[in-house]
Structure 1
Amino acid sequence: MEDGIWLNEPKVWTRVGGVLEVTTDPSTDFWRETHYGFTRDSGHFLGVRTGSSFTAQLRVEAAYEQLYDQAGIMVRVDERHWVKAGIELSDGRAMLSSVLTSGRSDWATGPYEHDSRSFWMRATVAQGVLRVQVSADGRTWPLVRLAPFPEAPSYQVGPMCCTPERAGLRVRFSEFRLMPALGKDLHDLT
Structure 2
Amino acid sequence: MEFKWLNRSTITKEGKRIEIFAPKESDFFCNNGAVGDEGITPESLSNAPFYYTEVTGDFIMRVKVSHDFKDMYDSSSIMIMQDITHWAKACFELTDFNTHAVVSVVTKDQSDDANGCNVEGNSVWLQVCRVGQSFTFHYSIDGDNYY
Q: TM-score, normalised by structure 2?
A: 0.86
User: Are 2:115 and 1:106 equivalent residues in the alignment?
Assistant: no
| Residue aligned with 2:138, SS | strand
Structure 1 window deviating more from structure 2 (26-35 vs 96-105): it is: 26-35
Runs of 4+ in 1 over 2 A off after TM superposition: 34-39
Residue number among 79, 88, 91 corresponding to 1:83 in the alignment: 88
The residue that corresponds to 1:127 in the other structure is 132
User: Are 2:61 and 1:61 equivalent residues in the alignment?
Assistant: no
The residue that corresponds to 2:143 in the other structure is 138
Letter in 1 for 2:59: F
> Can you give the 5+ residue segments of structure 2 that lack an aligned partner in the other structure?
35-40
Q: For residues 6 and 19 of structure 1, what CA distance do their matches in structure 2 show?
A: 17
Letter in 1 for 2:2: D
**Structure 1 residues 94, 37: closer, same or farther in 2, change over 3 A?**
closer
The residue that corresponds to 2:4 in the other structure is 5
Letter in 1 for 2:6: L
Q: For residues 53 and 82 of structure 1, what CA distance do their matches in structure 2 show?
A: 17
Q: For residues 114 and 140 of structure 1, what CA distance do their matches in structure 2 show?
A: 16
Could you tell me whether the CA contact under 8 Å between 2:60 and 2:129 is conserved in 1?
yes
Could you tell me whether the CA contact under 8 Å between 1:114 and 1:136 is conserved in 2?
no
How far residue 38 of structure 1 moved from its aligned partner, in angstroms, is 4.0
**Structure 1 residues 29, 120: closer, same or farther in 2, change over 3 A?**
same
User: Are 2:96 and 1:96 equivalent residues in the alignment?
Assistant: no
User: Are 2:14 and 1:16 equivalent residues in the alignment?
Assistant: yes
Q: CA deviation digits over 1:79-124, x for unaligned, max 9? A: 0111111211112111211100111110100342343x12111101
Q: Which has the higher contact order (CA 8 A, sep 6+)?
A: 1
> Can you give the 5+ residue segments of structure 1 that lack an aligned partner in the other structure?
143-190
How far residue 74 of structure 1 moved from its aligned partner, in angstroms, is 0.5
What RMSD over aligned residues (CA atoms) do the two structures have, in Å? 1.6
Could you tell me whether the CA contact under 8 Å between 2:100 and 2:120 is conserved in 1?
no
Q: For residues 111 and 130 of structure 1, what CA distance do their matches in structure 2 show?
A: 19
Q: TM-score, normalised by structure 1?
A: 0.68
Could you tell me whether the CA contact under 8 Å between 1:32 and 1:103 is conserved in 2?
yes
| Residue aligned with 2:53, SS | strand
